[in-house]
Structure 1
Amino acid sequence: MRPQRLVVVGGVAGGMSAAAKAKRQNPALEVTVFERNAYISYGACGLPYATSGVVPNLQRLIARTPAAMRARGVDVRVRHEVTEVDGERRCVKGRNLETGEAFCAPYDALVLATGALPVCPQVPGRALPGVHVMRRLEDAAALREAIAAGATRAVVVGGGYIGLEMVEALVTAGLDVRVLERQAGLLLPFGPKPAELALEEVTARAEVVLAAELLGFEGRGRLERVVTSAGTFPADVALVAVGVRPNNALARALGLRLGPAEAVLTDAQLRTDRDGVFAVGDLTAAHHRVTGRPAWIPLGDTANRQGRVAGTVIGGGDARFRGIVGTAITKVFERAFATTGLTLAEAQRHGLSARETQITTTDHASYYPGHRPLHVTLVWEEGTGRLLGGQLVGYGDAVKRIDVLAALLFRQGTLQDLADLDFAYAPPFSNVWDPLAVAANAALG
């Protein structure tokens, strides 16, 4: 029986995609979205650039407003927090954060899109004014206000790609920046060569302190110092970017089956193991097409695709989410870094007989003005030649070649498939042998 009432808990990418698609699929469906924050749909990946001022107005990041969604027949209620799901009676309960009024909303189908929460180490002083995270539009607004109020010294805790994007943002905004990382390198999930080049890129513009354990934040009334195992550093603002975790409180209370990182497990239609309950976005683990196992890799484009599938199914259509290969891209000052599939270390941890090939070439013909270096890493399975992953480091759009590798990984392509591709060529864009083909041929021998 097709549902008549859909409740979505959480907006932004996954939740709003599910709500909008379900309503388009079945215009008679009653759709209600509850979002505890003030904004329902915005470009979260643009937050560092809005913080720096490269995007001058935070409002430019907003993709959909509650009024626009209501005009499409979707009832959006912001500043409404769902605190309980009654799976037996099929209703959600919560409160209006503006008025304190309680609410109870029945559903036939429920989409959990509660996303992820930033991890903040449980250290002294973490609640001091001046200690920030970067997850919501409000977080970027708060950091912009601190900069406008005269902050000049910043400490970024965490050397992953969000942390490094924020290092660039704060340097661009004119602050003196120090980045602290507890491990021995920056951008380590992208592999050794990207990590080496990321460290080179950042140390040219900010101080980097590696193998530093965060011990606490200090200050009289607001942040003044960041205390670590490597010393104490002055700071007007600190940005904690040490990772996120699934916001799974409602899922756990419902007894939903959990997987890696305690993310919710679903089938290909985003159904959970509870009848009528779907889950999408950063809350969920997804089928990894390289390893064949569930993986938790929270990314906005995954959330959007999952939301569209769930909305199609709830609206009466047929759709499948076919999985991920873990493709990501980031800009760190002048260089761009991209990864897909597995690094060599990850492949070996999964028990695969993996090998790695690395080349450095130019992003277009060396005789054409403006060519710059492009580093390519291919990870592949010994014996079969199956591609397992790849990483690119270069400048500008040259690293978008990662999408070629992602497409081949999605179809379980091989080194020979990559070498055989009919790449576009003109001197301003590539060499006569595309860098990916050069790497594939080097691996083939």
Structure 2
Amino acid sequence: MKVSIIGCTHAGTFSAMNILKAHPDWEVSVFERNDNLSFLSCGIALWVSDRVSDPNKMFYSSPDDLAKLGAKMHMLHDVTSIDFDNKKLHVKNLENNEDFEQDYDKLVLTTGSSPIVPNIPGINSSRVQLCKNWTNATELKENAKNINSAIVIGAGYIGAELAEGYATLGKKTTLIDALPDVLAKNFDKNMSKVAEKDYIDNGVTLGLGEKVQAFEEVEDGVIVKTDKNEYKADVAVMSVGFRPNTDMYKDEFETLPNGALIVDKYMHTSKPDVFSAGDAASVFYNPTNDNQYIPLATNAVRQGILVGANIEKDTAEYIGTQSSSAVELFGRTYAASGLTAGHAKALGKKVETVSLEDNYRPEFMLSTTPVLMNLVWDPETRVIVGGALTSMYDVSQSANLLSLAIQKKVTIDELSMVDFFFQPNFDKPVNYVSALAIAAVEKAN
């Protein structure tokens, strides 16, 4: 059996590893246009702000590792077109510009995503940078040594973390977003306001609810012009989101409106013998029971594993995702899983919500810390569909608990009575997640 994998970041790497583990005698060819693979881009802001021990450890695999498993690695090779009817790839070797054809029996499309780069005047300036891959990371890290100021455009996870990183380095930092709140797509307003206060307290200028209209490169920096203000810094960094890297072949498949390939629970696309995973593909989003585009490394890894499990025959089903995530900003944890109230409203989904602030452990301890929490549920079934927490205490693993609750369609009533342990070092007689669920039950009744 001949398998070709196009693209090798998270989904491609895990597809290759798991196919070869299950079928060591198969011919597995990997095509990657870059000279590296498996880079954990979620660590870029941490590296830029001197919180990474060794940048080489941000790669969890290598071309040599996959080659040792038996893969035929074609690094710096670009697949220029695909003949799906005859099962042939047209490939260009980027080192010598030679072209060749490769036939396959099974094809895995893991071409990932590209940063969204709006068509804004001046955006091609060398002082306007991106934050996505290893090349971007090395440029940002090198620049951080020399700059005194930075403007970050996009207040999602990547932009929010990068802006926090610059601020901790003592750089004059501005964070701009067209939406009215920081992390607006990840958290509801009450938690966004906590983050915004921390930014302001740490000297960050916020340009929220402002659309960038132009960049103007000047001798000593770049001016970012929005519909409301102008900001100047040594560099600007675009981090306004990602789009699936499927332009070459998306017209051949059933896709989401943005071009992400729709895959079934076994990672099959709409074409026979063609699989997809990761940022090029859709995911099944459990809180809304439909396919959505949620480009996260965790989704890519799990889908890549499933490609390996199902490449010969359908054996392992995808159980979907809650889009669980977390970030730490200025020492404060933000963690979430599933829908926010704002996202539910945008989707036209009727939900009920409750917010609660409670100390994570008893007040008789020498210290304790408040935890601000939100819970979102379906008012008809009482099933939990989302939740979020923020605290100076590390509450990140509670988002994983909420993720499992959403996955298993746990009700607010059930969560309020889960057998959580009590020990004063760690929590109260009523665990803070239980307290949140109890507040939801009281509101629902």
**TM-score scaled to structure 1, two decimals?**
0.95
Alignment of 1:5-44 (within 5 A): 5-44=2-41
Counterpart in the other structure of 1:426: 423
Distance change >3 Å, CA 172–CA 98, structure 1 → 2: farther
**Match 1:176 to one of 162, 172, 175:** 172
Q: Aligned-pair distance for 1:221?
A: 7.2
Q: Does 1:367 align with 2:364?
A: yes
Residue identity opposite 1:268 in structure 2: K
1:317 Cα deviation (Å)?
6.6
Q: 2:150 aligns with which of 129, 154, 171?
A: 154
* CA 1:396–1:35: 2 relative to 1, 3 Å: farther
Which shows bigger deviation, 297-306 or 70-79?
70-79
Contact 1:265 1:285 in 2 (8 A): yes
Unaligned runs of 5+ in 2: none
- Give the alignment's Cα RMSD to 1 decimal: 1.6
Separation in 1, partners of 2:317, 2:219: 52
> In structure 1, what is the equivalent of residue 128 of structure 2?
131
What are the equivalent positions in structure 2 for 1:322-401 lying under 5 Å apart?
A: 322-401=319-398
Match of 2:69 among 66, 72, 77: 72
Is residue 141 of structure 2 the alignment partner of residue 122 of structure 1?
no
C-alpha contact 2:16 2:66 (8 A) present in aligned 1: no
The aligned counterpart of 2:281 is 284
Does the C-alpha gap of structure 1 residues 312 and 400 become closer, same or farther in structure 2, counting only changes over 3 Å? same
CA distance in 1 between counterparts of 2:154 and 2:132 reads 14
- 1:214 maps to 2:212: yes
- Structure 2 residue aligned with 1:241: 239
Q: Report if the CA contact (8 A) 1:260-1:295 is conserved.
A: no
Tell me the distance in 1 between the aligned counterparts of 2:173 and 2:154.
13
| Cα 1:224/1:351, change in 2 over 3 Å | closer
Confirm or deny: 8 A CA contact 1:218 1:226 kept in the other structure: yes
| 1:225 counterpart residue number | 223
- Equivalent AA in structure 2 for residue 174 of structure 1: G
Give secondary structure in 2 for the equivalent of 1:217.
strand
**1:302 aligned to 2:299?**
yes
Q: Deviations over 1:215-273 (max 9, x none)?
A: 222225784322222222221111111111111113314x1100253311011110001
Equivalent pair of 1:26/1:315 in contact (CA under 8 Å): no
Tell me the CA shift for residue 352 of structure 1. Answer: 3.6
Give the aligned residue type for 1:264.
L
Deviation (angstroms), 1:311: 1.0
Higher relative contact order (CA 8 A, sep 6+): 1
State the AA in 2 paired with 1:402.
A
> Is the 8 Å Cα contact of residues 266 and 314 (structure 2) preserved in structure 1?
no
Residues 1:259 and 1:73: Cα distance change in structure 2 (over 3 Å): same
The 1-side partners of 2:321 and 2:235 are apart by 36
Contact 2:127 2:217 in 1 (8 A): no
Q: Which letter maps to 2:162?
A: M
Cα distance between partner residues in 1 of 2:166 and 2:241:
19
Mapped partners of 2:240, 2:38: distance in 1: 24
Query: Which residue in 2 is equivalent to 1:104?
Result: 101
Tell me, which stretches of 5 or more residues in structure 1 are unaligned? Answer: none
Deviation at 1:364, TM superposition (A): 2.1
CA distance in 2, matches of 1:383, 1:153: 51
* Preserved contact between residue 130 and residue 238 of structure 2 (Cα < 8 Å): yes
Report the residue type matching 2:234 in the other structure: D
- Counterpart contact for 2:181–2:208, Cα < 8 Å: yes
Contact 1:130 1:222 in 2 (8 A): no
Identify the match of residue 187 of structure 1 among 165, 183, 188: 183
> How far has the Cα of 1:288 moved from its partner?
1.5
Runs of 4+ more than 3 Å apart: 220-223, 348-353
Shift of 1:315: 4.6
> Do the aligned partners of 1:95 and 1:103 also contact (CA within 8 Å) in 2?
yes
Asked if 1 retains the 8 angstrom alpha-carbon contact of 2:371 and 2:393, the reply is no
Give the secondary structure class of the aligned counterpart of 1:345.
helix
> What secondary structure, in the 3-state scheme, does the structure 1 residue paired with 2:249 have?
helix
Q: Does the CA contact (< 8 Å) of 2:339 and 2:387 recur in 1? A: yes
Give the 3-state SS of the residue equivalent to 2:287 in structure 1. coil
Q: CA deviation at 1:347?
A: 2.6
Letter in 2 for 1:385: R
Q: Of the candidates 229, 248, 251, which is equivalent to residue 249 of structure 2?
A: 251
Q: How big is the shift at 1:65?
A: 1.2
Question: 8 Å contact 2:5–2:12 — kept in the other structure?
Answer: yes
Q: Deviations over 1:6-55 (max 9, x none)?
A: 11111111011001100001111111111111211122211111111211
- Corresponding position of 2:163: 167
Whether contact under 8 Å (1:8, 1:32) holds in the other structure is yes
Kindly tell me: are residues 196 and 220 of structure 1, through their superposed partners in 2, closer, same or farther at Cα, counting changes over 3 Å?
A: closer
Rounded to whole Å, the distance in 1 between the matches of 2:65 and 2:289 is 40
| Structure 2 residue 243 is matched with structure 1 residue 267 | no
TM-score (norm 2): 0.95
What secondary structure is seen at the aligned counterpart in 1 of 2:60? strand
State the aligned residue count: 440
- For residues 53 and 142 of structure 2, what CA distance do their matches in structure 1 show? 13
* Matched residue, 2:200: 203
Give the Å deviation of 1:349.
4.0
SS in structure 1 at match of 2:398: helix
Deviation per residue, 1:154-196 (Å, 9 max, x gap)? 0001111111011112123332111111121111111111211
